Structure 1
Amino acid sequence: MKRENSAVRVATIGFAGKSAQSFFDLLRNAQVRTVLDIRLNNTSQLAGFAKKQDLPYFLDRLCNAAYVEMPELAPEPDLLKRYQAKQLAWDAFTAEYVELIARRRVESNLDVDLFHSACLLCSEHLPHRCHRSLAVEYLNAQWNSRLTITHLT
């Protein structure tokens, strides 16, 4: 059943700077039912407990939550590389990223119901300079402010 006019509760989280206990406690306490992985690199050794291979198991066992990869909300490799190399300022990264997800028509290609009790996952510890915030704000604007957003830190 579609929730056409009701608010959709969605969270965001980054795994960096968190212990596994803190990370999974935040998800469980927020009653997250689905983690939407919007990372470009989700198999790196740096991902530790949040590696794509292991995360579905941990989410199921520790949080009773599902795992969904959502590459359509990940930045393109070149865009992320230029930002990380400080070749792009945050404002320029923001503009290019928002243009990218607009070109991908994510607001039309993603089902808003998938975001109900979901949490967007990336690596950055805090949300203020992270594409997860840009993605959820973009979708909220496109979906007429239907999302109630919480950043889990």
Structure 2
Amino acid sequence: MMIRVATIGFTAKSAERFFMLLRNASVKTLLDVRLNNSSQLAGFAKKDDLRFFVSELVGAQYQELGELAPEASMLKRYREKELDWTTYASAYCELLARRRVESNLDEALFDRACLLCSEHLPHHCHRRLAVEYLNEAWGQRMEVVHLV
């Protein structure tokens, strides 16, 4: 069975665009994989507001998924340019392996789900790394689309 999963970042999107992308992709669960999800610049992206908006505007559920969030020290070192992208990506994937996320997370949770982070594009974002890691671990059973 193929699992349909999406990813999205809220930065550089209006609330209208953000929620329309989720609705048009038929997302049933928004999986919040951010380390910090309560003090974002975009008001609609705060976790308590998202729970309401996603339910009312998309007809989907909201769930925090901290298992896929980076560690605070790792993210800080990347943002402060102490780690380049390649080193950060490698460290993040090692973190997922140590957490054994492929064994601890239910594949069914990801069907018609969308991983949320802040980065506008997936190229340098841990949400892309997370779905690639899980897809590899689960035998390439996920069809991934990045909503931009």
TM-score interval, normalised by the smaller of the two chains: over 0.9
User: In structure 1, what is the equivalent of residue 133 of structure 2?
Assistant: 138
Residue 46 of structure 1 deviates from its aligned partner by 1.4
Identity between Structure 1 and Structure 2 (%): 63
Give the counterpart letter for 2:41 in structure 1: L
Q: What is the rounded CA distance, in whole Å, between the counterparts of 2:106 and 2:41 in structure 1? A: 31
Distance across 2 between alignment mates of 1:57 and 1:15:
16
- What is the DSSP-based 3-state SS (H/G/I as helix, E as strand, rest coil) of the residue aligned with 1:53? helix
CA distance in 1, matches of 2:93, 2:43: 28
What is the alpha-carbon distance in structure 1 between the residues aligned to residue 107 and residue 84 of structure 2?
A: 31
Does the residue aligned with 1:46 lie in a helix, a strand or coil? coil
Structure 1 residue 22: deviation in Å?
0.2
Aligned mate of 1:124, from 119, 122, 131: 119
RMSD of aligned Cα (Å) = 0.6
> For residue 44 of structure 1, what is the amino acid of its counterpart?
S
Give every structure 1 segment of 4 or more consecutive aligned residues whose post-TM-superposition deviation is greater than 3 Å.
none
Task: Name the SS for the 1:39 alignment partner.
Answer: coil
Matched with 2:63 is 68
Aligned amino acid, residue 121 of structure 1: L
Structure 2 unmatched ranges of 5 or more:
none
- Does 1:85 pair with 2:64? no
Q: Secondary structure at the match of 1:55?
A: helix
SS of 1:126's equivalent in the other structure is coil
C-alpha distance in 2, partners of 1:7/1:48?
34
1:115 lines up with 2:110 in the alignment: yes
Please, what TM-score do these two structures have when normalized by structure 1?
0.96
Give the counterpart of 2:53 among 50, 58, 64.
58
Moved more, 90-99 or 42-51: 42-51
Partner residue of 1:43 out of 14, 38, 45: 38
- CA distance, structure 2, for counterparts of residue 72 and residue 48 of structure 1: 24
Note the C-alpha offset of 1:34. 0.2
2:142 corresponds to which of 119, 143, 147: 147
Count matched residues: 148
Shift in Å, 1:45: 4.0
CA deviations on 1:87-117 (whole Å, 9 max, x unpaired) are 0000000110000010000000000000000
**Structure 1 residue 48: Cα displacement:** 1.6
SS at the partner of 1:40?
coil
* Distance apart, 1:53 and its partner CA: 1.1
State the distance in 1 between where 2:52 and 2:44 align. Answer: 10
